[in-house]
Structure 1
Amino acid sequence: MKERVITVLKKHPKKLLVLAVLLIAYYFCLPKVLFNTPTATVIESMQGELLGAKIADDGQWRFPVVDSVPFKFETCLLNFEDAYFYRHPGFNPISMFKAIGANIVAGKTVRGGSTITQQVIRLSRENKGRSYAEKFIELILATRLELGYSKEEILNLYASHAPFGGNVVGLEVASWRYFGLLPYQLSWAEAATLAVLPNAPSLIYPGKNQSKLLVKRNRLLLKLQDEGIIDDTTYELALLEDLPQKPYALPNYASHFVQYVAKSKKGERVKSSIDQELQKNVNAIVKKQYNSLKQNLVYNAAVLVLDVKTRKVLAYVGNAPTDKYHEKDVDMVQANRSTGSVLKPLLYTAMLDAGELLPDMLVPDVPTQIAGYAPENFNESYSGAIEAKKALARSLNIPAVRLLQSYGLEKFRDQLDVFKLGGLNKSANHYGLTLILGGAESNLWDLCKSYANLASTVNHFNKSSSEYFKKEFVAPTYLQKSTIDFGAKSQDKTVFDAGSIYLTFEAMKEVNRPEGSESWEFYDSSKEIAWKTGTSFGNKDAWAIGTTADYVVGVWVGNADGEGRPNVTGVSSAAPILFDVFDVLPKSIWFAKPLDEFVTVEVCANSGYLATEICPRITIDIPKKQNYVHACGYHKIIHLDQNRQFRINSSCEDLSNTITEPWFILPPLMEFYYKRTHPSYKSLPTFRDDCISVLTPTMEFIYPKNRSRIILAKNFEGKMNELILKLAHTKPESKVFWYLDSTFIKETKDFHEAAILPDEGDHTISVVDELGNEASIIITIQ
């Protein structure tokens, strides 16, 4: 045998070389990639249902290749186009001879003998004509295709690239466009209609040649009946079905999500983590609220829902169902906007973590001016002093600013880098103390991500052996099969410890807000949710972000063009959407307390500072770390007469006759506002008349502050407005005498205010009460 081969090689070397070249050419004649045409970006839900799609770059609705062809369509297609598909090697000689004969008799091409395999080749070569030379090339390539691909793969290629009329390419798009169904949901009549369309795609246009399409479809149905594939009843019912008319719109449940995914997954089929039913529910909630919001000329809203444990995106509504005039195409989940108050919980957590704050610690809430910056609470009122956790729950601005100043602006700004908040890219000096009130920008995606990371920190700490994960702060994923890598376990916290985060969430559970109680019908008390609202300056942005152990929901409401509207607040505009979304989510349990991160301490019951021997005490749990909060300084020992009516001292009474007791004393300005809402607060008693008074601050200027620079504005009549001076006195009923540069102005009682119109330059404002107590400030009029 070996000798015979050698003999043949010697006798016919050229023929064998040519044969080898032909075989090599045949092997490489089929392109590695048959179809280079662009495809649409197709996004599916976690259940595999179509959420939406973005058209291909060439303007065709062409989905990526399907992974299977439904039985009904395959049956119809093979009976119409290629009955011997599973038996031929890529071409059917009998069909070809019949077609040649028919074409010779007719004198033109009236019939084709191409198999489905050959049609796939023709489609990949972009229909280069119907000449016999082209047919020969198709035949060669078809046989090569059969050698390299399975029959199922060839069928998939055909079903994905066959023309179905207009810019509809492929079975999947055709099924949606003409019947509004998935391919496997098609009836026999619908499958038969689509099976005959690629043979004559122009027949699909409504009102044009549809009689021919009907004849083709019914002839195919009759063949299916004759072959015993469908029974008589199915055949009769199929004949009664109408042909498609006006094309259906493709599903569009998450258009902005589709656009977002298409940036990195262009032309791909993506099975996302979106929950189809939840997405529909959130869409309905946003639409309902939009119909109400637009009455106030508010046209845009966005919602994002994340799974805390998997960090997957469960729902994504990039905008309200508004119109193009109102920026309907802008994805407000990704748009950077003023953060309002939604960064306050991060500051609260940071200070707890640093040992510089206790939950019940009193924080001043009084008129404040810091380096020319005068923050105001949303409700334009003051509480004098308030517990830190209540200040967070009420979203009070002045306590937040004062805490930020105390903690350190630069330190907090540097910590925010860990959260990788888009839009927050400038230095601490650029933002100043407004950073905590919306002076910075970020987006719903990154803010929700940050809250999810905090929630997950507590979850992981409780479920592990009181450990943290090194990669806790990661971006969410929208891919169904994606698994987040949280990294290795560690004894060291990532940013904040679990105890500080837990206490922050506990504070955020409180539902009291300064805006009042008018909106709490939206709160379901059976669900424990840590949530925070925010409103940017000028009512341009309304935020609401809430978290449980399982879910984070973020909401933004406003106008995409930046126009502010009255009454657009986090509470009134965003919170209703937040709680409606939580209502359609499965009920979630509250966070377990990370016990290993806590230590028990005694604090003063009145001030929340570390307890001293002279104040009433309570026991609380705080994060286990070095604590830098000092002991309570608001309690002092005072000496009272036997009737407990006046203070006394050694100048007027033998101290053995005094009653000594601790007294809770706030500074005058804090006391001035504090006792308005705390009837039980007792002001410090005055000294008895025969006693020499010990110097104790009794008065403090509310406005202006010492060393203030003030510009007096003109009114509509062109006259200069007066400067209103305001004073707090521990005994408002006392008489106070006002002086401007040693010149007497007026006397006040009960309400201590005075109006002046000073010249430009420096001025000294002095006050003296009837007991001789004095206070003064220096201001500059510019």
Structure 2
Amino acid sequence: MKNKLIAFSQRIINWIKTNKIKSSIVFLLLVVYYFSLPRTLFQEPYATVIESKEGELLSAKIALDGQWRFPAQGSVPDKFKKCIVYFEDEYFYKHPGFNPVAMVNAFQQNRQAGKVVRGGSTLTQQVIRLSRNGKGRTYFEKIIELILATRLELGYSKNEILELYAAHAPFGGNVVGLEMASWRYFGVQSHQLSWAESATLAVLPNAPSLIYPGKNQIKLLSKRNRLLLKLNQEGIIDKQTYELSIAEPLPQKPYDLPQIAPHLLQRVAKNQEGSRVKTTIEIGLQNRVNQIAKYYYNQYKQNEVHNLAILVIDVSNRKVMSYVGNSPTDGNHQKDVDIIDAPRSTGSILKPLLYAGMLDDGELLPNTLVADIPTQIAGYTPQNFNLTFDGAVPAHRALSRSLNIPSVLMLQDFGVNKFYEELQRFKLRDISKPPDHYGLSLILGGAESNLWDLCRTYAGLSSTLKYFNANQGQYRTNEFAELNYDDAFQVDFGDETRQKNILGAGSIWLTYNAMEQVNRPEGDEAWKFYDSSLKIAWKTGTSFGNRDAWAIGTNAKYVVGVWVGNATGEGRPILTGVTSAAPILFDVFNLLPRQRWFDTPFKDLEEVEVCSLSGHLAKEGCPTIKELVPKKGKNTSVCPYHKTVHLDKTLEFQVNSSCENMQNIVTKNWFILPPVMAWYYKSQHIEYLPLPPFRNDCMGTQTATMDFIYPKTNSKIYLTKNFNSEVQPVILKVAHSQRESKLFWYVDKVFKGSTKTFHEMPISATTGFHYITVVDEFGNEIRRKIEIVKE
């Protein structure tokens, strides 16, 4: 055998040497034949298709040429394979791309009819014809198809040729390809088709006009049943299957494609137009979140709130588990807008990042008292949502209650530029203007961000804490990686390192503990009393004018983000984060498996003694408690509010050596807040004791202090009228450290009266600028400039 091959090869070489021109022509023809088949057989655009992680169709967008043409799926269901082969090309697995017998029979029939009535084309030839955009059915074209079909057979397997046919065959109207036809006519994926449904689709490319609903039903039924009979006669299906199949009805009306994640489809189409993308969406969860979105939309639209968005993230891998970009509203209310990526005013949603940043930088401890008093800073006057003041509040309570004034004062201490740089490290894209543009309003919604970036940020924080605890105090260099919706993509979290990425695990854990204490929505107020209560760290936000309602929550496994509002930016009085977004947040979390709370990151915390009243590091004489704080927390300031005072034996008066024997003087450490802070603080804390006054027989400097409660510095006061159109007086208020002291009031150096105990003074003044002066009985004086104007 080997000698025969050698001899044959030698004859070919000799022939080439003696027939150089002929051999060159043969070689050239072979080269032309080899390159005759285009590298890409089909140039048509495809529909954009997204599937769930389980392979279920979520949504699809029509191809750019207006055809419903799905990208090839990679395999053809066995039922359809058998149906199409037995109907179109019984010898498909045996011929080299063309069937000479079928071609001869077709030639004879066409000649007898005087026109082309039968093609005799194989499935391979039909693939070539489809790729050539259905050129005329001439004999010359048949020759070209034949040549290209043989070339296709040499370069592709039989299964690959069937895949090309199934993906590009016409199925009536603008439906192209088996996968789209399965959804359009039967509402299922192609691998779920029955024998009758597969047979129906197998006969359609031969006569796609038969599929029009309500027409040609008899012809279509006859074709389908003849194919089913053939399959039964060939032993492909048994008698019972055949009888059940011919009893199945034909499709009567086209089905709509699933629209389970239409806004994620928009997002995919921006970068992957014409692709089939298997996403990270869990279809069961997505369907249930869609139901929640529909329920709340139907509730909120009655109050003219028309849009909402929900995002669910797996913390461990940053995969998007559910993506609801908008409510099921209508075109008049921007139903096609993807809110998840839209910049919206942040409200209070950034407050945990400021709190964590200050903890991490050693500028704050969890229980440090922060002022909560009427405040004006460079003309900016923040207000708490409920328009009340606590005087002073622990920092973690200020966060859990989302108090605005303490947050602004904390930002002032931390620095706007410094906080802005921290937000840039979190890659919040929409916070893109210079820090001076935002000022202190940055913490109260003066900036914009989007649900995608915010959920990514909180997922990064949760993952930082979880990884630190699970890996002996290690961090990862790319912990704040981008979120991912492509199931084939694996996120690279970078290398392990001892260096924190943005925030340390200790400050994140303390922040989450504060966020876990946020009051729950209506109906879940008693959550703290139940061990089974859902435990999450969460935060709400409401923008100015009630235009945006936010709620973002996290545990060790999941992050859920919710936005509610109007895409047009129209505000509604009832729209708040707690009442509108939070109920959705908790309903979504209740769909997810319960998770244990974060472990304590002891490697990034230290136990210190802090003052139990002020929350500062304790100094001698302070009542103390032990508290876990970030390592830099050891460098914060010691308690400034405990002072040593000398009292008589009754503890009712301050004394000194001028009025009391030294052996009778009692020395105590007294908790003393500044006057305005104390004035509001004592209304919330009945245990707060003001500093006792000096006994009348004592000499020496009095330590009394006072400050204005109202008006604020350089404030503009508007005169109001009652129902009788009478101009009402302006009520001035002062806080004094010794409540019983007598105060004397002056307006523009004119005496207006005195007060004792309750330091409030009504004054009637003309419009314009005035100077208010208050002097106490010890000679202490305070002054304030105001402007009075008419409404």
Residue 35 of structure 1 aligns to a residue whose secondary structure is coil
CA deviations 1:400-450 (Å, max 9, x no partner) are: 000000011111111211111021001110000000011000000000000
Residue 618 of structure 1 aligns to a residue whose secondary structure is strand
TM norm structure 1: 0.96
CA distance in 1, matches of 2:611, 2:271: 56
159-168 or 713-722: bigger deviation: 713-722
CA distance in 2, matches of 1:713, 1:178: 73
1:406 matches 2:413: yes
Instruction: Tell me how far 1:770 sits from its aligned partner.
Output: 6.2
**Which residue in 2 is equivalent to 1:305?**
312
Contact 1:299 1:320 (C-alpha < 8 Å) held by counterparts: yes
**Which residue in 1 is equivalent to 2:239?**
232
CA distance in 2, matches of 1:364, 1:202: 77
Aligned equivalent of 2:376, options 366, 369, 375: 369
CA deviations 1:124-163 (Å, max 9, x no partner) are: 0000011111111111100000000000000000000001
Instruction: Tell me how far 1:238 sits from its aligned partner.
Output: 1.3
1:111 matches 2:118: yes
CA distance in 2, matches of 1:375, 1:450: 26
Matches within 5 A, 1:480-499: 480-499=487-506
**Which residue in 1 is equivalent to 2:289?**
282
**Which residue in 2 is equivalent to 1:710?**
716
CA distance in 2, matches of 1:416, 1:721: 47
Structure 1: 5+ residue stretches without partners: none
Aligned equivalent of 1:520, options 518, 522, 525: 525
1:564 matches 2:571: yes
Instruction: Tell me how far 1:627 sits from its aligned partner.
Output: 3.7
Contact 2:692 2:738 (C-alpha < 8 Å) held by counterparts: no
**Which residue in 1 is equivalent to 2:332?**
325
Instruction: Tell me how far 1:667 sits from its aligned partner.
Output: 1.1
TM norm structure 2: 0.95
Instruction: Tell me how far 1:716 sits from its aligned partner.
Output: 11
**Which residue in 2 is equivalent to 1:351?**
358
Aligned equivalent of 2:208, options 201, 205, 211: 201
Residue 354 of structure 2 aligns to a residue whose secondary structure is helix
**Which residue in 2 is equivalent to 1:622?**
629
Instruction: Tell me how far 1:526 sits from its aligned partner.
Output: 2.4
410-419 or 752-761: bigger deviation: 752-761
Contact 2:702 2:778 (C-alpha < 8 Å) held by counterparts: no
Residue 347 of structure 1 aligns to a residue whose secondary structure is helix
**Which residue in 1 is equivalent to 2:3?**
none
**Which residue in 1 is equivalent to 2:80?**
73
Instruction: Tell me how far 1:226 sits from its aligned partner.
Output: 1.4
Identity %: 59
157-166 or 654-663: bigger deviation: 654-663
Instruction: Tell me how far 1:374 sits from its aligned partner.
Output: 0.6
Aligned length: 779
CA distance in 2, matches of 1:518, 1:366: 31
**Which residue in 1 is equivalent to 2:389?**
382
CA deviations 1:658-706 (Å, max 9, x no partner) are: 2221111111111111111111111112222222364334432112223
Matches within 5 A, 1:555-704: 555-625=562-632, 627-692=634-699, 694-704=701-711
CA distance in 2, matches of 1:567, 1:468: 42
Instruction: Tell me how far 1:190 sits from its aligned partner.
Output: 0.6
CA deviations 1:328-364 (Å, max 9, x no partner) are: 1110000000011111111111111111100011000
CA distance in 1, matches of 2:39, 2:601: 57
Q: CA 1:126–1:750 in structure 2 vs 1: closer, same or farther (change >3 Å)?
A: farther
CA distance in 2, matches of 1:145, 1:755: 98
Residue 263 of structure 1 aligns to a residue whose secondary structure is helix
Instruction: Tell me how far 1:383 sits from its aligned partner.
Output: 0.6
Letter in 1 for 2:469: N
Contact 2:363 2:633 (C-alpha < 8 Å) held by counterparts: no
**Which residue in 2 is equivalent to 1:191?**
198
Contact 2:345 2:447 (C-alpha < 8 Å) held by counterparts: yes
Instruction: Tell me how far 1:758 sits from its aligned partner.
Output: 4.3
CA deviations 1:289-318 (Å, max 9, x no partner) are: 111111211000001111111111111100
CA distance in 2, matches of 1:770, 1:519: 52
Aligned equivalent of 1:29, options 12, 26, 36: 36
Q: CA 1:721–1:252 in structure 2 vs 1: closer, same or farther (change >3 Å)?
A: farther
Contact 1:362 1:385 (C-alpha < 8 Å) held by counterparts: yes
Instruction: Tell me how far 1:744 sits from its aligned partner.
Output: 2.6
566-575 or 683-692: bigger deviation: 683-692
Contact 1:712 1:720 (C-alpha < 8 Å) held by counterparts: no
Letter in 2 for 1:241: E
Letter in 1 for 2:716: I
Q: CA 1:755–1:200 in structure 2 vs 1: closer, same or farther (change >3 Å)?
A: farther
Residue 306 of structure 1 aligns to a residue whose secondary structure is strand
CA distance in 1, matches of 2:13, 2:372: 103
CA distance in 2, matches of 1:722, 1:247: 75
CA distance in 1, matches of 2:14, 2:83: 54
CA distance in 2, matches of 1:215, 1:620: 83
Matches within 5 A, 1:164-175: 164-175=171-182
CA deviations 1:369-421 (Å, max 9, x no partner) are: 11110100011111110000000000100000000000111111112111110
**Which residue in 1 is equivalent to 2:184?**
177
Aligned equivalent of 1:447, options 447, 454, 471: 454
Structure 2: 5+ residue stretches without partners: 1-6
CA deviations 1:42-80 (Å, max 9, x no partner) are: 111111111111111111111101211111111111111
Instruction: Tell me how far 1:231 sits from its aligned partner.
Output: 1.8
Contact 2:310 2:323 (C-alpha < 8 Å) held by counterparts: yes
Structure 1 vs Structure 2 CA RMSD: 2.1
Contact 1:302 1:332 (C-alpha < 8 Å) held by counterparts: yes
Instruction: Tell me how far 1:462 sits from its aligned partner.
Output: 1.4
Q: CA 1:520–1:197 in structure 2 vs 1: closer, same or farther (change >3 Å)?
A: farther
**Which residue in 2 is equivalent to 1:58?**
65
CA distance in 2, matches of 1:19, 1:609: 94
Instruction: Tell me how far 1:512 sits from its aligned partner.
Output: 3.3
CA distance in 2, matches of 1:354, 1:530: 21
186-195 or 750-759: bigger deviation: 750-759
Contact 1:522 1:576 (C-alpha < 8 Å) held by counterparts: no
Aligned equivalent of 1:314, options 321, 327, 331: 321
1:139 matches 2:172: no
CA distance in 2, matches of 1:102, 1:753: 111
1:777 matches 2:767: no
Contact 1:540 1:562 (C-alpha < 8 Å) held by counterparts: yes
Instruction: Tell me how far 1:780 sits from its aligned partner.
Output: 4.9
Aligned equivalent of 2:465, options 440, 448, 458: 458
Letter in 2 for 1:60: Q
Instruction: Tell me how far 1:493 sits from its aligned partner.
Output: 1.0
Matches within 5 A, 1:2-17: 4-5=11-12, 7-17=14-24
CA distance in 2, matches of 1:49, 1:407: 49
Contact 2:326 2:335 (C-alpha < 8 Å) held by counterparts: yes
CA distance in 2, matches of 1:10, 1:255: 67
CA deviations 1:546-599 (Å, max 9, x no partner) are: 111111111000000000001211100000011111100111121111111111
1:340 matches 2:347: yes
Letter in 2 for 1:468: Y
Residue 53 of structure 1 aligns to a residue whose secondary structure is strand
620-629 or 142-151: bigger deviation: 620-629
Letter in 1 for 2:445: G
Aligned equivalent of 1:391, options 379, 398, 401: 398
Letter in 2 for 1:644: L
1:97 matches 2:104: yes
Residue 542 of structure 1 aligns to a residue whose secondary structure is strand
